């Protein structure tokens, strides 16, 4: 059984999807699986670009053997050594000991750490700007350090105009037959999970991503073929622009507000709901609201890359801030998110420590703190509602420059 897809002249998709997996990297929830993409060229020489996760190895090898149809495999190009792409290198070498592995020096070091027995394999070391021709197809190698590991490189095939972009432009989610991105409802279908993938997997390395995007923008692109998610034949400007925005830590939607609240018994949630209602009454129509205990942190991190203004509402817990809010804020800081407006609501039934604890975690990030904030004990009292109105006004004011 094999199921490859011709994506361009002499170029095939040979990857597969795993719909049983529930956590990517054993950390990030997947709503509908994950795809692990690999590619194969048939030309005067043959070449495979990257292997796949072990979970997809059966179909991957069946596709390779079907397409090669007895021909030798001349090259394996390794763009990324993380095991979700490199796990099958050892098994591929057992089937095709004739192959030359094309990779950069750091990737070779990583490869030999994972596969110490491959020290005698044939290697072709490449660096920035090196070329490799396999007939009518010509590869150029573009180093992309820290997108997502330090050894990452992209491979650009000039004849077909395909950028093999490793993790860059990847999305969470399995593929369903069509390996190409659909134009139908592009943002909802692709951008949302691309953002969550970027924010959580690559988001910490914005400076390096921006440097690589400059190189990508100079390429004559006809296709972007990542290692996860669909292949793109259009929307290149949109994709590169989104990556540049995220990598610069600028909000993607300057009029968007996220209310992230923690609530043990519902009273802090009520305060957050009142604030959201006031914002809506004042004309804010791009409001997202999350209970940080219910929503996985990966979504909160992704939303933090999208919005301009964030409301943090949380109760005291163990003399600090509620643990789920603490987890989110540590993730926020670790991903170097900055250039955001932050408003606070704290609930201290027996001590008001939540805001101070949140500020301490956020210390050193480049954030603008909106005033006033609300501190209440157990429940919001009627006379405190005016303070929530003032917070809503401050948020509306903070959004104004983007709306004019």
- Binding-site ranges for ligand FEO (CB under 6 A): 80, 82, 84-85, 148-149, 167, 227-228
Secondary element (H or E) of residue 117: none
Beta carbon nearer to ligand FEO, 85 or 278: 85
Lookup result for tokens 């791009």: 286
Shortest Å, Cβ 129 to ligand FEO: 23
Give whichever of 55 and 398 is closer to ligand FEO, judged by the CB atom.
55
Q: How far is the CB of 59 from ligand FEO (least distance, A)?
A: 18
In angstroms, what is the minimal distance from the CB of 84 to ligand FEO?
4
For ligand FEO, give the closer residue by CB, 167 or 193. Answer: 167
The rounded distance, in Å, linking the Cα atoms of 351 and 215 is 53
For ligand FEO, which residue has the nearest CB? 82
Least distance between ligand FEO and beta carbon 149 (Å)? 6
* Full DSSP string of 285-325: --EEEEETTTS-HHHHHHHHHHEEEEEEEEEEETTEE-HHH
DSSP state at residue 232: B
Yes or no: say if 66 and 42 are a contact pair by the CB < 8 Å rule: no
For ligand FEO, which is the closer residue by CB, 82 or 326? Answer: 82
Shortest CB 343 distance to ligand FEO, Å: 35
**Cβ-contact 168, 226 below 8 angstroms:** yes
User: Which of 170/320 has CB closer to ligand FEO?
Assistant: 170
Nearer to ligand FEO, 12 or 149 (CB): 149
Would you state the structure tokens that stand for residue 124, as one six-digit string? 């072709």
Task: State in angstroms the smallest separation of the CB of 148 from ligand FEO.
Answer: 4
Distance CA 232, CA 224 (A): 5
CB of 380 to ligand FEO, least distance (A): 45
DSSP string, 170-216: --SB---S--BPPSTTHIIIIIHHHHHHIIIIIGGGHHHHHHHHHHH
* 8 A C-beta contact, residue 104 and residue 143: yes
Q: Are 199 and 302 in contact (CB under 8 A)?
A: yes
3-state secondary structure of 68: helix
Nearest approach in angstroms of CB 305 to ligand FEO is 18
State which residue, 67 or 166, has the beta carbon closest to ligand FEO.
166
Residue length of the chain = 404
Closer of 226 and 331 to ligand FEO (Cβ) = 226
Rounded Cα–Cα distance for residues 67 and 79 (Å): 21
Of the candidates 168, 146, 142, the one whose C-alpha atom is nearest the C-alpha of residue 156 is: 142
* Spatial separation of the C-alpha atoms in residues 133 and 48, rounded to whole Å: 13
d(CA 103, CA 89): 12
């Amino acid at each position: 059984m094999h199921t490859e897809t011709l994506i361009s002249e002499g170029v095939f998709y040979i990857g597969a999807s795993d719909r049983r997996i529930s956590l990517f990297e054993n950390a990030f929830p997947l709503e509908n699986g994950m795809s692990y993409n690999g590619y194969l060229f048939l030309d005067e020489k043959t070449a495979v670009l990257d292997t796949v996760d072990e979970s997809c190895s059966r179909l991957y090898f069946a596709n390779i053997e079907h397409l090669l149809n007895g021909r030798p495999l001349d090259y394996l190009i390794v763009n990324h050594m993380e095991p979700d792409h490199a796990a099958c290198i050892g098994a591929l070498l057992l089937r095709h000991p004739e192959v030359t592995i094309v990779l950069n020096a750091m990737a070779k070091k990583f490869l030999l750490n994972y596969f110490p027995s491959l020290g005698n394999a044939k290697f072709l070391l490449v660096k920035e700007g090196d070329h490799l021709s396999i007939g009518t197809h010509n590869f150029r190698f573009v180093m992309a350090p820290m997108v997502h590991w330090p050894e990452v490189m992209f491979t650009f095939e000039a004849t077909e105009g395909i950028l093999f972009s490793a993790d860059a432009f990847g999305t969470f989610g399995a593929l369903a037959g069509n390996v190409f991105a659909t134009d139908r409802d592009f943002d909802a279908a692709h951008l949302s999970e691309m953002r969550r993938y970027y924010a959580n997997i690559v988001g910490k390395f914005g400076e390096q991503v921006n440097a690589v995007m400059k190189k990508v923008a100079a390429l004559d692109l006809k296709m972007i073929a990542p290692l996860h998610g669909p292949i793109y034949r259009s929307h290149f400007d949109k994709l590169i622009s989104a990556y540049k925005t995220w990598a610069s830590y600028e909000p993607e939607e300057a009029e968007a507000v996220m209310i992230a609240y923690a609530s043990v018994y519902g009273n802090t949630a009520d305060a957050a709901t009142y604030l959201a209602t006031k914002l809506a009454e004042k004309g804010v129509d791009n409001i997202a609201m999350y209970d940080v205990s219910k929503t996985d942190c990966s979504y909160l991190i992704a939303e933090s890359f999208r919005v301009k203004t964030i409301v943090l509402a949380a109760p005291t817990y163990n003399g600090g801030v509620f643990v789920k809010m603490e987890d989110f804020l540590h993730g926020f800081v670790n991903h170097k998110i900055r250039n955001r407006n932050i408003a606070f609501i704290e609930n201290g039934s027996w001590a008001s420590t939540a805001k101070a604890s949140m500020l301490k975690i956020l210390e050193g990030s480049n954030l603008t703190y909106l005033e006033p904030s609300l501190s209440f004990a157990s429940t919001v009292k009627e006379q405190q509602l005016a303070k929530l109105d003032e917070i809503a006004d401050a948020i509306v004011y903070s959004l104004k420059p983007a709306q004019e």
